[in-house]
A and B are shown apart, each in its own frame.
Chain A
Amino acid sequence: MKPHVVARERVQPLFDPEALARAESLGLMARSIVEGYRVGAHRSPFQGFALEFAQHREYAAGDDLRHLDWKVLGRTDRYFLKQYEQDTNLVAWVLLDASESMGYGSTTLTKLHYAKACAATLAHAILLQKDAVGIGIFDTGIREQIARTDNQGKIHEILRRLAAIKADGQTDIGETMEKTALAFRNRGIAIVFSDFFEDEDRLERGIRRLRFLRHEVILFHVLDHQEIAFDFRGSCRFEGLEGTPSVQLSPEDYRKDYLRAFGEFQARIRVIAERNACHYVLADTSHPVAEVLGGYLSLRLRMGRSR
């Protein structure tokens, strides 16, 4: 008997019209100001010579004396540096986990397809607001890469290439993140879609690497509803993915213990995100993409305005 849950990615549209509309209206506000050459909807974190004055800061050893405010020095005999603001554009790097475990779905919708829909929606929204987006598909390493672009006309190629991705192989997201961090030439936003079924230490090490390079990291924890609820009945044979063994059992007997272990796992991922100042977004595939993305983008917008 064939598993009743199979990935049918060809029949699933990558764009959720509602999600797309909400993403367009909300835009992708970077939680922190990102660096860029072009003046866009975002602010540059770099205080330079031109542009608008931002604030004074007390001089510290090693500071460039070119930015010393001589007027203040003359009036108060104290050393202050002048800081400025400038607007810049957004570079978003979307990392999509395409390992075999992402191919699971308790309905016709798999986690991978859900993640691809989210990624496509975000990419479209980013391009619409004149920002740049790059996409990396990984399992144990970067399997496929869609180069950074700010050309809206590339959206069709992005969609085509996303649609062609199949779930396969094991996961090594930590290693992927470390390599990605090295490849990013500019600071930006790393948006990761994964179920994070891997070694948590390696995951955190990858996140730290990105954060060390001052990228903003957003973790979309893509989970099927049954993985969260584990609401199976009767006798079942669970066939492991990514090389894990199979087991036959009555799920009701193990549900309580499984839910506890899985809840702890989710909590640990959340803790890792908080510890590294990342956003953690639970993407339950039973919820519409619009709800998940819209909820998160609304949050970002509120946070941006509050600054």
Chain B
Amino acid sequence: MTFLAPWLLAALPAVGVPVVIHLLNRGKPRPIRWAAMQFLLDSVRKNQRRLQMRDLVLLVLRVLVVAFLVILFARPAIWAPVGSSGVVPAPVSGMIVLDVSASMAQTDGRRSRLELAREEALKTLEKFSADSLAGLILATDRAVPVVPRPSNNLELVHDNLEAVHGTFSATDLFPAIERAFQELARSPGAEKMVFVYTDSQEAAWRERPAIRDLAGKYPGIALRSIPIGKAGEPNTAITGIAIQPSAPTRGEIAKVRVDVRNLTEKPIDGVRVTLAANRDKPQDEATLPPIPAGQAASANLKITFDASGLQTLRAEIPQDLFPADNLRSLAVRVGNPRKFLILAEPAAGDHRTTPAFFLRTALGAMQKGGEVQVVPTGQLTSAVVEAASVIFVCSPASVGDAQWVMMERFVRGGGGVVVFPEGQTSAALGATPATQWLPGTLGKRLTQSSTWVQTGLAHPVTAAWADANRTRLTNISADSRFELTPHPGASPLASYADGVPVAVSSEVGAGRAVLFGTSPVPASTKLVLHPFFPILVGGLVDYLAVEQSATPALRPGESFSASVPPALIGKKVFLSSDRSEGRTEAGVVAAAETEGRIQTPPIDNPGGYQVFVEGRDEAAAAFSVAIDPAESVLTTADPVQIEAANGDAKAGAAAKDVKVPREAWMVFAVLLLLLFIAELALAHRFTMAR
């Protein structure tokens, strides 16, 4: 039971009025000296208990009459199930919190959780009395107020409920519930309630303690959660997608790892994973081995992009009852074919012992899809430098100062340079401008043999070999090397057993530079003969191609922003998704200090997106939007814990049992009347009996 005007209950102490009157009457007796006391005492002895009982009965009746009168004014109401008849609907201030997260898209085979939730919310709303107030807040991982304050325009709430569509966002009910409590606290109205319609996904209720605190902070507001659906549907999800290299070039074969998680309660077998670029047909597919319940498996697929620029990858598994996570996209910036420049003097003898030979072989083995050009130092011009992606300097002693300056400009502009020393490099480099921007300094020549160590492999190029169980790097040794001292801010790729770095790297302007301590020839190091060498060279190429950085991956509901040249300011921005045809307008390029800025509206739908600017055919940017992998876990929260969070043992009932307050003053009026009649009758009877 509850009260629609609970402040009037403050008058409840008025039940003491009959008692006070009784005491006042008793308090001023008329004194009488009395002779025939023995007869009076006999009468008192015989009747006192009866009369005391009579007085008590009358007193209780009068107290009850006053109490019921106060209760009647406080407008008592009872909780009655929606749809029950025989009770008068009471005005209520209700905020409807509707979960529209991605998980609400799961279906029971016929209807989605969102459709069911909307239906239940509409049913509840229809049972509101005409003078009730209602508001609507959509819950994702944030609160989306649709009808933010309780309004008497129930039709508005009704229409908005009808128009609600699902999102692909993650769930956290707390922000929406908090907002609902805050709005109700500011709103007038008697009975204040928050109705939460959710699939009760575990992640949605993760802020249970905070919700419990809210219930304590706003004691006058009741929280009712209405779970939709009995339990989470069995689900298989793509939880991750990664491409190696992160910035492939046109024609390069890239490896793509697709993570698939089995979120059902039994093992699944034969999950087929397909991979496509943009909206094209799948290029590759794989069938996964059996995945135990709750475990994940990865499919390794390959893909080749026919064009450079911003592209999207699309991995897909067969649809289940929650299709939102059966498709996942990734935006990829595909570069033009790289041009690797090997700066080396022509070989006097067997060319198979030169650095150029080993580097060309390694680059070819990695199928980087680029062009390898060996250029003598004397032919190095600025045109040659600017056409290159990465320059491997194998004869630094013959590089002139002007050429070093050219390479510095090349690096600062975003290029990559790798320097291998040769016989007299140490002394030669000390007198060149290269010492200003190379990541380290070469010292004296070390002739004692030393091996690599497995530890300290934190550099992006060598991090993949940090696991000693996979690879042993300790059989790589160098017989002839230079002492290499890193400059401040430089990072070692790996180290020898004596602590001297194998190579160091640093960022120089927009580009990167790497300095090795040995020449890439077998006479100096066993590295070049090791199977690890081509992979290391491939990693170096990917590391140095900084201009081909990865594209951002957003969560649904986030906005994408990127800087563009100032010439594009004021031009329209369009978005193209790999999941739909055509382009949609997404604002204009705004001015931001000295450059233009693209700021899209929040993107709700997952997929790979390309951003185009008016008047340009090439995409200006690309990004991907993917649902939170946690949203794929459809396990429902323990109803008991939800009830505890609500602070109401009766909450968490089935959707059919949603209860709203109905005025029950008629019941109390009848009771009051009966009490009044009983009091009158008894009082009359007692008076007549005197």
C-alpha gap A241/B37 in the complex (Å)? 8
Give the contacts of A115-149 with B (CB-CB under 8 A).
none
Specify the main secondary structure of chain B where it touches its partner. Answer: helix
List 6 tightest A-B contacts by C-beta distance, closest first.
Answer: A104-B35, A101-B35, A244-B37, A238-B34, A257-B43, A240-B37
Shortest beta-carbon distance from A119 to chain B in Å = 19
Shortest beta-carbon distance from B164 to chain A in Å = 71
Given contacts A245-B41, A253-B47, A253-B51, contact A237 B35 (CB under 8 A): no
- The proximity string for B residues 671-687 relative to A, scoring 1 for CB distances below 8 Å and 0 otherwise, is 00000000000000001
C-alpha gap A236/B29 in the complex (Å)? 5
Given contacts A235-B26, A256-B690, contact A224 B41 (CB under 8 A): no
Interface centre among A111, A236, A261 (most CB of B within 10 A): A261
Asked whether any CB of chain B lies closer than 8 Å to the CB of A252, the reply is yes
Given contacts A245-B41, A253-B47, A257-B47, contact A104 B29 (CB under 8 A): no
Q: Which B residue's beta carbon lies closest to that of A261?
A: B39
Shortest beta-carbon distance from B28 to chain A in Å = 7
Asked whether any CB of chain B lies closer than 8 Å to the CB of A280, the reply is no
C-alpha gap A101/B46 in the complex (Å)? 23
Please state if B51 and A238 are interface contacts (CB–CB under 8 Å): no
Please state if B34 and A104 are interface contacts (CB–CB under 8 Å): yes
C-alpha gap A61/B44 in the complex (Å)? 60
Interface centre among B28, B34, B38, B687 (most CB of A within 10 A): B34
Shortest beta-carbon distance from B19 to chain A in Å = 16
Contact residues in B for A253 (Cβ distance below 8 Å): 47, 51, 690
Q: Which A residue's beta carbon lies closest to that of B28?
A: A235
Contact residues in B for A249 (Cβ distance below 8 Å): 44
Shortest beta-carbon distance from B53 to chain A in Å = 12
- The proximity string for B residues 20-35 relative to A, scoring 1 for CB distances below 8 Å and 0 otherwise, is 0000011011111111
Please state if A3 and B36 are interface contacts (CB–CB under 8 Å): no
Asked whether any CB of chain B lies closer than 8 Å to the CB of A303, the reply is no
Q: Which A residue's beta carbon lies closest to that of B25?
A: A235
C-alpha gap A249/B46 in the complex (Å)? 14
Given contacts A247-B44, A249-B44, contact A234 B37 (CB under 8 A): no
The total of chain B residues at the interface (CB under 8 A) is 25
Given contacts A111-B35, A227-B35, contact A254 B30 (CB under 8 A): no
Contact residues in A for B34 (Cβ distance below 8 Å): 104, 238-241
Shortest beta-carbon distance from A265 to chain B in Å = 6
Asked whether any CB of chain B lies closer than 8 Å to the CB of A258, the reply is yes
Please state if B36 and A247 are interface contacts (CB–CB under 8 Å): no
Q: Which B residue's beta carbon lies closest to that of A100?
A: B35
- Chain A contact residues, CB within 8 Å of chain B: 1-5, 100-104, 111, 195, 197, 224, 227, 232, 234-242, 244-245, 247-249, 252-258, 261-262, 265
Asked whether any CB of chain A lies closer than 8 Å to the CB of B387, the reply is no
C-alpha gap A1/B28 in the complex (Å)? 11
C-alpha gap A197/B39 in the complex (Å)? 10
C-alpha gap A3/B33 in the complex (Å)? 6
Please state if A256 and B689 are interface contacts (CB–CB under 8 Å): yes
Interface centre among A224, A255, A257 (most CB of B within 10 A): A257
Besides the known contacts A103-B33, A244-B38, 5 further A-B residue pairs in the complex with CB atoms under 8 A apart:
A3-B32, A236-B32, A241-B34, A249-B44, A256-B690
Contact residues in A for B25 (Cβ distance below 8 Å): 235
Q: Which A residue's beta carbon lies closest to that of B24?
A: A235
Please state if B35 and A241 are interface contacts (CB–CB under 8 Å): yes
Shortest beta-carbon distance from A79 to chain B in Å = 57
Specify the main secondary structure of chain A where it touches its partner. Answer: mixed
Question: B29 is contacted by which of A101, A237, A252, A265 (Cβ under 8 Å)?
Answer: A237
Given contacts A235-B25, A256-B689, contact A247 B40 (CB under 8 A): yes
Question: A248 is contacted by which of B29, B35, B41 (Cβ under 8 Å)?
Answer: B29
Shortest beta-carbon distance from A224 to chain B in Å = 7
Asked whether any CB of chain A lies closer than 8 Å to the CB of B350, the reply is no
Given contacts A244-B41, A248-B29, contact A254 B35 (CB under 8 A): no
Please state if B43 and A254 are interface contacts (CB–CB under 8 Å): yes
Given contacts A247-B41, A247-B44, A253-B51, contact A197 B36 (CB under 8 A): yes
Given contacts A253-B47, A255-B690, A261-B43, contact A235 B29 (CB under 8 A): yes
Given contacts A253-B51, A253-B690, A256-B690, contact A239 B40 (CB under 8 A): no
Asked whether any CB of chain A lies closer than 8 Å to the CB of B42, the reply is yes
C-alpha gap A4/B39 in the complex (Å)? 21
Given contacts A224-B35, A241-B35, A254-B47, contact A236 B30 (CB under 8 A): yes
Contact residues in B for A5 (Cβ distance below 8 Å): 32-33
Given contacts A235-B28, A237-B29, contact A258 B35 (CB under 8 A): no
Contact residues in B for A195 (Cβ distance below 8 Å): 35-36
Q: Which B residue's beta carbon lies closest to that of A195?
A: B35
Contact residues in A for B36 (Cβ distance below 8 Å): 101, 195, 197, 227, 262
C-alpha gap A254/B36 in the complex (Å)? 13
Contact residues in B for A239 (Cβ distance below 8 Å): 31-34
Contact residues in B for A234 (Cβ distance below 8 Å): 29-30
Contact residues in A for B41 (Cβ distance below 8 Å): 240, 244-245, 247
Contact residues in A for B37 (Cβ distance below 8 Å): 238, 240-241, 244-245, 247
Q: Which A residue's beta carbon lies closest to that of B687?
A: A252
- The proximity string for B residues 590-621 relative to A, scoring 1 for CB distances below 8 Å and 0 otherwise, is 00000000000000000000000000000000
Interface centre among B26, B30, B46, B51 (most CB of A within 10 A): B30
Please state if B26 and A258 are interface contacts (CB–CB under 8 Å): no
Shortest beta-carbon distance from A85 to chain B in Å = 46
- The proximity string for B residues 45-83 relative to A, scoring 1 for CB distances below 8 Å and 0 otherwise, is 011000100000000000000000000000000000000
C-alpha gap A53/B658 in the complex (Å)? 118
C-alpha gap A100/B32 in the complex (Å)? 14
Contact residues in A for B33 (Cβ distance below 8 Å): 3, 5, 103-104, 239, 241
Question: B40 is contacted by which of A103, A242, A258 (Cβ under 8 Å)?
Answer: A258
Interface centre among A3, A234, A238, A252 (most CB of B within 10 A): A238
C-alpha gap A104/B33 in the complex (Å)? 7
A-B contact pairs, 27 of them (CB 8 A): A2-B31, A3-B32, A103-B33, A104-B34, A195-B36, A224-B35, A227-B35, A234-B30, A235-B28, A235-B29, A238-B37, A239-B31, A239-B32, A239-B33, A240-B34, A240-B37, A241-B35, A241-B37, A245-B37, A247-B37, A256-B690, A257-B42, A257-B47, A258-B39, A258-B40, A261-B39, A262-B36
Given contacts A252-B690, A253-B51, A254-B47, contact A262 B39 (CB under 8 A): yes
Shortest beta-carbon distance from B435 to chain A in Å = 116
Q: Which B residue's beta carbon lies closest to that of A239?
A: B33
Please state if B690 and A248 are interface contacts (CB–CB under 8 Å): no
C-alpha gap A178/B660 in the complex (Å)? 89
Interface centre among A249, A254, A258 (most CB of B within 10 A): A254
Interface centre among A1, A102, A245, A247 (most CB of B within 10 A): A247
Given contacts A5-B33, A239-B33, contact A254 B40 (CB under 8 A): yes
C-alpha gap A235/B315 in the complex (Å)? 96
Please state if B46 and A257 are interface contacts (CB–CB under 8 Å): yes
Shortest beta-carbon distance from A221 to chain B in Å = 12
C-alpha gap A100/B690 in the complex (Å)? 30
C-alpha gap A224/B39 in the complex (Å)? 14
Given contacts A244-B41, A254-B44, contact A197 B35 (CB under 8 A): yes
Interface centre among A5, A241, A245, A253 (most CB of B within 10 A): A253
Please state if A197 and B38 are interface contacts (CB–CB under 8 Å): yes
- The proximity string for B residues 152-163 relative to A, scoring 1 for CB distances below 8 Å and 0 otherwise, is 000000000000
C-alpha gap A5/B29 in the complex (Å)? 15
Q: Which B residue's beta carbon lies closest to that of A248?
A: B29
Contact residues in B for A1 (Cβ distance below 8 Å): 30-31
Contact residues in A for B38 (Cβ distance below 8 Å): 197, 244
Shortest beta-carbon distance from B598 to chain A in Å = 92
Please state if B40 and A238 are interface contacts (CB–CB under 8 Å): yes
Shortest beta-carbon distance from B58 to chain A in Å = 12
C-alpha gap A118/B507 in the complex (Å)? 139
Q: Which B residue's beta carbon lies closest to that of A167?
A: B35
C-alpha gap A235/B51 in the complex (Å)? 14
Contact residues in B for A227 (Cβ distance below 8 Å): 35-36
